[in-house]
Structure 1
Amino acid sequence: MVVIRKKLVTDSQANKVTYGKGNAKKFIVVHETDNTRSGADADAHARLQYNGNSRDASWHFTVDDKEAVQSFEHTWRCWAAGSTTGNNQGIQVEVCVNSDGNYRKAMQNAAELVAKLMRDEGIPISNIVQHNHFSGKNCPSQMRAGKVSWTQFITMIKATSGNTTQQKPSTDIDRYRVLTGTYATKQAAENVLDVLKHRFGWVAYIEQDGAKWRVKTGTFTGMTAAQGGANKIKTAKLAQVTNIVAE
């Protein structure tokens, strides 16, 4: 059962990276991120869009092996499909291919999300298409190479029946930051900072601690989110020690 979470881009930001509202919502267009780096999951790509994507690109949902994160309401005409028709009439779904994720599970989650979008918007399965359909680009590349074939993916969609859940808002509204342990050099801390900011899409800072350095994240709302951030840092082997502090 895929969890769907919203982290919606502000209207002011959306107007910079879309054709505005008025999406006809006739197609669901499936993409892959082509970002195989560790940690390049749905949360990271959603934060990238939320914080202001420097690329001329946008998409409605990012899906990984844990969740689907929505960045734009369906009415926005995102820049993703490579053609006027695809952008103006498509709901864009990006599937993560990060090396530390489970690709097949991500595809299963994507199938469950697509099935829900079909039901919600009245889109027929004949209008579930690859990015390649509109632009000729080799995308979704791993699916097109047969890692999970398009036929298998369509079968997953057909087999799905209501296997989605909307994440309930957290009742914990306290804010927390994650602090790494210390690094012997500022350069080591800057290397970690670069990953947190540009791969994970987080706000982060460097702090001096005596003769050493540590990295501090921006705020997370709720202890569960903060713990998820701390675990992500450890999983990516950016720090052996992390601490969560109340804001």
Structure 2
Amino acid sequence: MPATFNHTSHAICGNAQHEKMEKKKMTEVKINELFVPKGTKRRGGKKLKKDNGVCIHEAGTPNAPAVNLARVQVNSPNSVVNGWHFSVDDKEAWQSFPLDEVAEHSGKREGNDTTVAIEIADKVTAGEYWRKAVDNAAWLAAWILRQKGHTKAVHKQNIWQHNDWSGKDCPRQIRKGNPVNWAAFVAKVNEYLAAMLAPASAPTPAPAPQPQPNKALVEAFVTRLYAASLDRAPDPEGFKGWVNALMNRALDPWQVARGIVLSDESIGQRETTEEWVKELYRALLGREPDVDGEQNWLARLYTDMSRVAVVDGILGSSEFSGVAAAMGF
């Protein structure tokens, strides 16, 4: 193999395959706003007296999505007093009251004055629609609790059934285990709440940009490899290829040195073993060999070591690492 630049031949290529794992995103429910007009029968504007968390209802209105439940409150603000803060279905949530205002939803004064109401739009109480609507309600409950500073949902402390206040069989489907029972629903709320409260992973810092190699030293290194190993000046094409590969960090000094010193052209040189060791020192380290080092390598070559192993031995030395470091590697 001639000592001309050949990236494919000399680059070290890994063949390990990396499986990219994509973390599943947590459910996030879009919250729209359609507030009941303030100062109406439904929305008197009173502030909650204390924070007892959230109260879960089921609307009991077949075929009505969440947006319809929200519109009912806005379109008839003076017909009745009862109201609720949020309506949720399988796709989205609609907010009708601010989080700090009273809505008449529980059937008990304490429930109205202390909790935020969620109505699950039970237009269908089976299949994927209902499973997703209930799951979205759990996310919404967690979101509200988080806004109010809670770190865990506990039944009758900060998460309530409508039944807890009024005795009504509501939320009816969840109370009978469709699609999950109440304990599982509260557990799901806590799962979402924990995820919301978890600290965001710190972004992986971008690697520091590597300094540009010293072009003058890179060119001198390539020129020296040609002169010592091939006994000639570099041809323009080969010189440009090796220098560009080093400057762009496509190859490192260890790869370039092996590529030239162990090329067919270099191996075909008719020098003695003693001459070859001297040339190797000049090529790789830029100096004449010290007596002890030269004698050590010669002794190994005359017994059990190949020339390739000697090249790798010098390339693995701390002295050659210093040569590479001086160039910027």
Common fold: TM-score over 0.5: yes
Tell me by how many angstroms 1:132 deviates.
0.6
Counterparts in 2 of 1:18 and 1:12: CA distance versus 1, 3 Å:
closer
Asked whether the equivalents of residues 70 and 96 of structure 2 are also in contact (C-alpha less than 8 Å), the reply is yes
Check if 1:41 corresponds to 2:97. Answer: no
Pairwise CA RMSD of aligned residues? 1.9
Give deviations 1:113-169, integer Å, cap 9, x for gaps: 111111110245121110011111110011111102111111211221239xxxxxx
- Whole-Å separation in 2 of the counterparts to 1:96 and 1:136: 20
* Pick aligned residue for 1:63 from 63, 66, 88: 88
* Pick aligned residue for 1:154 from 167, 171, 186: 186
Asked whether the equivalents of residues 17 and 58 of structure 1 are also in contact (C-alpha less than 8 Å), the reply is yes
AA aligned opposite 1:8: F
Where 1:59 maps in the other structure, the secondary structure is coil
2:105 maps to 80
Structure-to-structure mapping, 1:114-153, within 5 angstroms: 114-123=141-150, 124-126=152-154, 127-147=158-178, 148-153=180-185
Query: What residue ranges of structure 2 are gaps of 5+ in the alignment?
Result: 1-27, 198-329
Asked whether the equivalents of residues 39 and 45 of structure 2 are also in contact (C-alpha less than 8 Å), the reply is no
AA aligned opposite 1:125: A
Asked whether the equivalents of residues 25 and 74 of structure 1 are also in contact (C-alpha less than 8 Å), the reply is no
AA aligned opposite 2:53: F
- Whole-Å separation in 2 of the counterparts to 1:75 and 1:33: 22
Check if 1:95 corresponds to 2:131. Answer: no
Asked whether the equivalents of residues 2 and 109 of structure 1 are also in contact (C-alpha less than 8 Å), the reply is yes
AA aligned opposite 2:103: C
2:131 maps to 104
1:26 maps to 52
Structure-to-structure mapping, 1:94-243, within 5 angstroms: 94-99=119-124, 102-123=129-150, 124-126=152-154, 127-147=158-178, 148-160=180-192, 161-162=195-196
2:74 maps to 50
Tell me by how many angstroms 1:26 deviates.
1.9
Shift >4 Å, 4+ stretches: none
Aligned residues: 159
Where 1:153 maps in the other structure, the secondary structure is helix
2:30 maps to 3
**Which of the two has higher C-alpha Rg?**
2
**Percent identity (aligned):** 36
Q: TM-score, normalised by structure 1?
A: 0.61
Say which structure is richer in helix.
2
Where 1:17 maps in the other structure, the secondary structure is coil
Structure with more contact order per residue of length (Cα contacts < 8 Å, sep ≥ 6)? 1
- Whole-Å separation in 2 of the counterparts to 1:18 and 1:27: 19
Where 1:55 maps in the other structure, the secondary structure is coil
2:213 maps to none
Q: TM-score, normalised by structure 2?
A: 0.46
- Whole-Å separation in 1 of the counterparts to 2:169 and 2:111: 15
AA aligned opposite 1:5: N
1:208 maps to none
AA aligned opposite 2:51: K
Query: What residue ranges of structure 1 are gaps of 5+ in the alignment?
Result: 164-247
